[in-house]
Amino acid sequence: MAAKKISPELLGFGGEIKTLRTAAGLNQEQLAALVNVTRSYIGQVERGVTRCRRDFAERLDEKLGTGTQLQATWDELIRGTKYPKHFVKFPKVEATAAVLRAYESHIVYGLFQTEAYATALIKRPEGVAVRMGRQQKVMSVPCPQIFVVLEEGVFYRPVGGQEVMHEQLEHLLELSHKDEICLQVIPMDVYVEEARAPFGIATQEDRSEAAYIVNAMGGETTTDENQLAGLSKSFARLQGEALNVRDTRSLMRKVLEERWT
């Protein structure tokens, strides 16, 4: 019998519960006793296998001392109105991931965009606010390990003009020095067959994964094991063909000085 397909929304919600439970110093059995359920039920919710009711999120918030955090996440899970329809599922798993991997071919990775750069792309103030909020949620302490591969052309594409690009490349240089971030670039004279479309992979602490793949319709979120395996192989190949971190920094400085100063 085929394994039950896990919803990315539920996986993200469960990951948030696990993060908060761990931060409170509780194991599954201890939390289960506090909210009067079985340990296996806690495990099912954390793995995204079971969708709990909102009142259970309320009880968790009360016992974990997290205000209304899980209730707000549960509401967002149900409404799903903040993000474009083709992208709405992925931020929920991205926000609780231990490791993020992403490949971008035309623009700067969303979590690494400055507000000015995002404004030039999105135009709508509410859309920019959502992107900035997404960055704050994902990259706050503790920040996940983030591995990003960009095409070199991203550094030359004039999004927003010279001042915006100057600020954006300075921001990328600053990020590249953070311990949690590995930023690499694929030179324009290198062809990588696997680089067909941008994608991102979010890996939780329990190794469960979800991916976002850009396509002609906008994109899709998937937890299909075969697709995830293929994307992991593609990302490994992209990293292998990309410049190392030091050479990537050197290239960014060169482009910044020669093109955007």
Closest CA to 44 of 65, 26, 17, 22: 17
Task: Count the neighbouring beta carbons within 10 Å of the beta carbon of residue 143.
Answer: 14
Residue 69, pLDDT above cutoff 90: no
Closest CA to 97 of 209, 179, 239, 212: 209
Structure pTM?
Answer: 0.70
Q: Are residues 113 and 210 in the same domain?
A: yes
* Sheet containing 99-104, strands listed edge to edge, beginning at the edge strand earlier in sequence: 181-186, 145-151, 99-104, 199-203, 209-213, 220-222
Q: Are residues 52 and 127 in the same domain?
A: no
Q: What is the pLDDT of residue 77?
A: 67
Q: Are residues 206 and 117 in the same domain?
A: yes
Q: Residue 13's domain is classified under what CATH number?
A: 1.10.260.40
The string of pLDDT tens digits covering residues 54-64 is 889 889 999 99
Mean pLDDT score, 77-92? 56
Q: What is the pLDDT of residue 1?
A: 41
Contact 237, 251 (CB under 8 A): no
Q: Which residues pair with 20 in a beta bridge?
A: none
Domain boundary among 52, 79, 106: 79
Q: Are residues 73 and 94 in the same domain?
A: no
Domain boundary among 79, 105, 140: 79
Percent helix, strand, coil in the chain, to 5, is 50, 10, 35
Query: Is 1 inside any structural domain?
Result: no
The string of pLDDT tens digits covering residues 209-236 is 989 988 766 788 888 899 999 999 999 9
Q: What is the pLDDT of residue 104?
A: 96
**Please, what's the b/e burial string for 205-238 (b: 16 or more CB within 10 A of its CB; e: otherwise)?**
eeebbbbbbbeeeebebbbeeeebeebeebbeeb
Q: Are residues 73 and 110 in the same domain?
A: no
Q: Are residues 117 and 229 in the same domain?
A: yes
Q: Residue 138's domain is classified under what CATH number?
A: 3.30.870
Q: Which residues pair with 182 in a beta bridge?
A: 147
Query: Is 85 inside any structural domain?
Result: no
Q: Are residues 138 and 212 in the same domain?
A: yes
The string of pLDDT tens digits covering residues 157-202 is 999 999 999 999 999 999 999 999 999 999 999 988 878 899 999 9
d(CA 102, CA 257): 26
Query: Is 84 inside any structural domain?
Result: no
d(CA 35, CA 21): 12
Q: Are residues 165 and 223 in the same domain?
A: yes
Query: How is residue 67 written in tokens?
Result: 């205000």
Question: How long a stretch of residues is the chain?
Answer: 261
Query: Is 196 inside any structural domain?
Result: yes
Q: What is the pLDDT of residue 78?
A: 57
Residue 255, pLDDT above cutoff 90: yes
Query: Is 152 inside any structural domain?
Result: yes
Average pLDDT, the chain: 88
Q: What is the pLDDT of residue 156?
A: 96
Query: Is 2 inside any structural domain?
Result: no
Residue 149, pLDDT above cutoff 90: yes
Compute and round to an integer the Cα radius of gyration of the chain. Answer: 20
Domain boundary among 59, 79, 99: 79
Query: Is 247 inside any structural domain?
Result: yes
Residue 100, pLDDT above cutoff 90: yes
Q: Are residues 98 and 183 in the same domain?
A: yes
The string of pLDDT tens digits covering residues 23-53 is 889 999 999 999 999 999 999 998 888 888 8
Q: What is the pLDDT of residue 40?
A: 92
Q: Are residues 201 and 104 in the same domain?
A: yes
Q: Are residues 139 and 253 in the same domain?
A: yes
**Please, what's the b/e burial string for 124-141 (b: 16 or more CB within 10 A of its CB; e: otherwise)?**
eeebbebbeebbeebbee
**Which residues constitute the domain of residue 208?**
90-259
Query: Is 185 inside any structural domain?
Result: yes
- Name the domain count of the chain: 2
Q: What is the pLDDT of residue 244?
A: 97
The string of pLDDT tens digits covering residues 1-10 is 445 566 777 8
Give the rounded distance of the alpha carbon of 40 from its chain centre. 28
